[in-house]
Amino acid sequence: MDFQPDLGLAAFREEVRAFLRDNLPEDLAGRIRIGTRSPRAELTRWQCILNEKGWGAPYWAKADGGTGWAVLQRLVFDEECTAVGTPSQDTGAQKLLGPVLNAFGTPAQKAEHLPHILSGARQWCQGFSEPGSGSDLASLRTRAVRDGDQYVVNGQKIWTSYAHRADWIFLLVRTDTEVRKQAGISFLLVDMKTPGITVRPIVSIDGCHHLNETFFDNVRVPARNLVGAEGEGWKITKFLLNNEHATAADLPMLRRCLTQIRMLATRRCQGGNVLLERHEFALQLARFEAELAAIATLVQRVAALEQDHSPAAHAMGSILKIRGTELLQKMSGFLADALGDYGAVAYPIPQEGDAAAALPMQEVGRSVANEMFFRRASTIYGGTSEVQRSIIAKSMFQL
């Protein structure tokens, strides 16, 4: 791995910063809400701005209508957007479904869905996890039975992020019960307005509603919405989950959290002195900085492996996922502790359409407790730490 500064990457970073400075509307800046998706109107408006620039799909190949950026360029883009607080994109559609359709979709499926992802007009949710089938995803029980030119879907999904706001869902279903469990899974695209779909909200420990239970009761789905062939769902899912190993650590959010701690270090006083003058605070801050620097170096290494299509990127991405999410949990907990009374209050997160009220220590105090609660799940979503360790162990055994 070459540690020399990449002048081309530095120039690209300046290009992204200039674009954000000139094109990000003032009322859309600073709108990060923990790790959740932006309100629909904000997301769509920002997506239109990006698409007009030709940056509507930062994670797709140029031939597929994307930017064709290298892995490190995508990381820079994410980092700079996080730094200024742009609205989110529909990451499920951008990072997960889009690459799947580009690789496995029919021309009709691409024509139907990709333009709407680029424009932000159609939002998606992911129907994978089920009660009892989270980490062991291959044990899913939602059935899809072929009936002429349709599939009839029955079952339940859980932890379905943004199902209550989504227009469509990409869904894993079991189409064959006679073969081994991985071989009987298929990948369907389903319009959320289809009769028989019920969405029930789950309010999570951070006080937000972004999760849902989703029920399918004799839902009829056109057979043309099958992606790939019957039984290829597991292969497609492995492709989907193996994308973007270098982003597993969520480096932009780690840096944002560290910036909040640094800000707090010189603004909050305890016993007449700023927190940075307290030995235990300064020591912990230094540890966080060292850990984050190590993760940032590992991110560059994994990005280089991805660029070379090295199979080692898979296990290294699992290492990043463990180290990054555990560090984020530690930093968000430390931030809440260091805020004292301010950190003990789970200030409400403004929902769509709400006015943002001024709060004490607003720069660092807003929703710190909510974010700490949200990050309790970071070692679970996207593949639990236990699953990641199994991937690492299996990789080492193969060596």
Confidence of residue 349 (pLDDT cuts 50, 70, 90): low
Is residue 205 in a domain? Answer: yes
**d(C-alpha 301, C-alpha 101), whole Å:** 28
Over residues 3-23, the pLDDT tens digits come to: 566 768 999 999 999 999 999
Helix, strand, coil share (%) of the chain residues, nearest 5: 50, 15, 35
Of 178, 209, 231, the residue at which a domain comes to its end is 231
Q: Tell me what the mean pLDDT of segment 76-85 comes to.
A: 91
Which 3 state secondary structure label does DSSP give 155? strand
Q: Can you give the pLDDT at residue 337? A: 87
Q: Can you give the pLDDT at residue 227? A: 98
Is residue 261 in a domain? Answer: yes
pLDDT at 262 over 80: yes
Distances (CA, A) of 51 to 22, 58, 114, 120, 166: 15, 10, 12, 9, 20
Is residue 157 in a domain? Answer: yes
What residues have CB less than 8 Å from 45, skipping those under 6 apart?
A: 25, 28, 87, 120
Choose the most confident range, by mean pLDDT, from 240-244, 321-325, 349-353.
321-325
Residues 54 and 169 in one domain: no
Q: Tell me what the mean pLDDT of segment 106-125 comes to.
A: 96
Residues 140 and 273 in one domain: no
Q: Tell me what the mean pLDDT of segment 107-111 comes to.
A: 97
Residues 134 and 82 in one domain: no
Q: Counting beta carbons within 10 angstroms of the beta carbon of residue 190, is it exposed (0 to 12), middle (13 to 18) or buried (19 or more)?
A: buried
Residues 302 and 333 in one domain: yes
Between strands 150-157 and 168-174, the pairing is unpaired
What average pLDDT is seen over the chain? 87
Q: Can you give the pLDDT at residue 359? A: 43
pLDDT at 218 over 50: yes
**d(C-alpha 77, C-alpha 88), whole Å:** 12
- Give the residue among 92, 249, 88, 78 at the shortest CA–CA distance from 161: 92
Judged by average pLDDT, the poorest of 271-280, 359-368, 377-386 is 359-368
CATH number, position 204: 2.40.110.10
Share of the chain above pLDDT 90, in %: 57
Q: Tell me what the mean pLDDT of segment 171-183 comes to.
A: 94
Confidence of residue 128 (pLDDT cuts 50, 70, 90): very high
How many CB atoms sit inside 10 A of residue 132's CB?
A: 10
Is residue 101 in a domain? Answer: no
Confidence of residue 186 (pLDDT cuts 50, 70, 90): very high
Distances (CA, A) of 358 to 83, 88, 180, 192, 263: 21, 23, 56, 37, 18
Choose the most confident range, by mean pLDDT, from 33-42, 137-146, 381-390.
137-146
Share of the chain above pLDDT 70, in %: 89
Distances (CA, A) of 261 to 174, 258, 326, 350: 47, 5, 16, 22
Residues 265 and 376 in one domain: yes
Q: Can you give the pLDDT at residue 284? A: 96
pLDDT at 397 over 70: no
Structure tokens at 18: 């200039």
Confidence of residue 207 (pLDDT cuts 50, 70, 90): confident
Residues in the chain: 399
**d(C-alpha 377, C-alpha 384), whole Å:** 9
CATH number, position 248: 1.20.140.10
Q: Can you give the pLDDT at residue 264? A: 85
Give me the amino acid identity at 378: S
What residues have CB less than 8 Å from 281, skipping those under 6 apart?
A: 265, 275, 338
Strand partners, 214: 157, 199
Residues 248 and 227 in one domain: no
pLDDT at 360 over 50: no
Q: Tell me what the mean pLDDT of segment 14-33 comes to.
A: 89
Range of the domain at 139: 124-231
- Give the residue among 101, 368, 351, 1 at the shortest CA–CA distance from 359: 368
Contact by Cβ (8 Å): 316, 245? yes
Residues 361 and 276 in one domain: yes
Confidence of residue 246 (pLDDT cuts 50, 70, 90): confident
Over residues 39-68, the pLDDT tens digits come to: 899 999 999 999 999 999 999 999 999 999
Residues 349 and 270 in one domain: yes
Structure tokens at 81: 């957007």
Is residue 100 in a domain? Answer: no
pLDDT at 104 over 60: yes
Residues 250 and 375 in one domain: yes
Of 89, 105, 136, the residue at which a domain comes to its end is 89
Of 69, 89, 109, the residue at which a domain comes to its end is 89
**d(C-alpha 121, C-alpha 127), whole Å:** 20
**d(C-alpha 40, C-alpha 76), whole Å:** 24
Instruction: Give the residue with greater pLDDT, 269 vs 340.
Output: 340
- Catalytic residue numbers, as ranges: 244
pLDDT at 362 over 60: no
Q: Can you give the pLDDT at residue 382? A: 80
Is residue 270 in a domain? Answer: yes
Contact by Cβ (8 Å): 182, 203? no
Give me the amino acid identity at 367: S
Q: Can you give the pLDDT at residue 83? A: 87
Q: Tell me what the mean pLDDT of segment 264-276 comes to.
A: 78
Residues 266 and 359 in one domain: yes
Domains held by the chain: number: 3
Over residues 249-261, the pLDDT tens digits come to: 888 889 988 988 8
Is residue 105 in a domain? Answer: no
Residues 264 and 376 in one domain: yes
Distances (CA, A) of 195 to 170, 191, 219: 16, 9, 6
Q: Can you give the pLDDT at residue 49? A: 97
Residues 20 and 84 in one domain: yes
Q: Can you give the pLDDT at residue 204? A: 85
319's enclosing H/E stretch is helix 312-338
Contact by Cβ (8 Å): 118, 98? no
Is residue 107 in a domain? Answer: no
Confidence of residue 385 (pLDDT cuts 50, 70, 90): confident
Angle between helices 279-307 and 251-267 (to 10 degrees): 160
